[in-house]
Chain A
């Protein structure tokens, strides 16, 4: 409502530019080939950044959570966006999440010298509620046997809360206190 009121008062030229910008964002938005985050390129800026630590992947359920973690500035690894969590009541099973794409990132061809270093650790940063925990558990059962360390962010974020709404300090501590699964 507040937005609508502001728009009524705004300059028509500005409104046209705004609507074009929104339209083009929608048209250009796709999923990163590697991490499945939203991006306007084939590969998102984080996956393309060689200075980041590609041996550590932080798994989140939605792009907003990736942004929240990125804002803390403490995590220098790369991300993976599942686009959801296991949710029996919503009928969301493992096949509905971007889990295959995550597994594909763990299988590295040893003969390819130019390849990025292999993944050593997966940090599961789904929200600390029942669905987020169940998703983390499912991933640890799937990935653990592959010899990759799987850890879970600590519940510095209140139990039952959602990651997107956590404050920076809490998120910071949650990342520092991650534990192995």
Chain B
């Protein structure tokens, strides 16, 4: 196997493990997100027993340093690369000690895997995912962190509806407690273009915008705190709105969302 079909060198890169699947008796198929190559599917030989090359194991949500040998032609081939080593940079074992963190990080990974096509290098998406996983690990499972990442990903992929001006003419939105909104017409609408459109609470939309525009750590903290302080109905409204934007772009329903439901009373608030 060594040599033929593989480029000579292997490359070390920061990576997040998005998913793993059994590949025969002892191997794993690993889906990685890297800043430079985008999503990479790689075979990890003997991964189920090699502690030397894969200390800490390979599980979804692990953030670390990967050594990857690309298939001939670099990332353009779309074939299976080879994962030679993976060393986590943080202890993701904490995920196994908190079911909410466990479920949230799985969701962040599955959403990324579901929305990104390979190869689609986007260092900004990589950092946003690392930020969302890092926050969940450090501060615990928080629905606001999920929403911020969902919105961020939608925007990075050019799939985010217009939120702060009319999607058709760009005019300012009419003041008031609700906003005219229609995804089929691009998002928020002015009274002229929004005739017959549904109305959504302006507060819910404002919360989404606040989550999106926050960039510095204190701004992000502030946006997350204000979402958490909103009534449960508003938080559900925001969740359903954003999930509605994501759904048409996902090839299949996300299993990690089913998992939220299956956890029953021990389920985390997914917003």
Residues of A within 8 A of B (CB): 86-96, 129-134, 136-138, 141, 158-162, 164-165
Tell me how far the C-beta of A168 lies from the nearest C-beta in chain B, rounded to whole angstroms.
15
Residues of B within 8 A of A (CB): 19-20, 26, 48-49, 51, 54-61, 92-93, 95-99, 102-103, 106-107, 109-110, 255-256, 258-259, 261-264, 266
| Contacts A130-B92, A160-B58 given; does A90 touch B255 at CB 8 Å | yes
Q: List 27 A-B contacts (CB under 8 A).
A: A86-B99, A88-B60, A88-B106, A88-B107, A88-B255, A88-B256, A89-B255, A89-B256, A90-B255, A93-B259, A93-B262, A93-B263, A95-B262, A129-B96, A130-B102, A133-B95, A133-B96, A133-B97, A134-B97, A138-B266, A141-B266, A159-B57, A159-B93, A160-B55, A160-B59, A162-B48, A162-B49
Q: Which residues of A contact B259 (CB under 8 A)?
A: 86-88, 91-93
- Grouping DSSP codes into helix (H, G, I), strand (E, B) and loop, the B interface class, with mixed when no group exceeds half, is helix
Tell me how far the C-beta of A129 lies from the nearest C-beta in chain B, rounded to whole angstroms.
5
Report whether A94 and B59 are in contact in the complex, using a CB–CB cutoff of 8 Å.
no
Q: Which residues of B contact A95 (CB under 8 A)?
A: 262
Report whether A129 and B266 are in contact in the complex, using a CB–CB cutoff of 8 Å.
no
Closest to A161 in B: B51
Q: Which residues of B contact A130 (CB under 8 A)?
A: 57, 59-61, 92-93, 95-96, 102
Report whether A161 and B49 are in contact in the complex, using a CB–CB cutoff of 8 Å.
yes
Report whether B57 and A129 are in contact in the complex, using a CB–CB cutoff of 8 Å.
yes
| Contacts A89-B106, A160-B54 given; does A131 touch B59 at CB 8 Å | yes
Closest to B107 in A: A88
Report whether B102 and A88 are in contact in the complex, using a CB–CB cutoff of 8 Å.
yes
Which of B20, B57, B95, B256 meets A134, CB within 8 Å?
A: B95
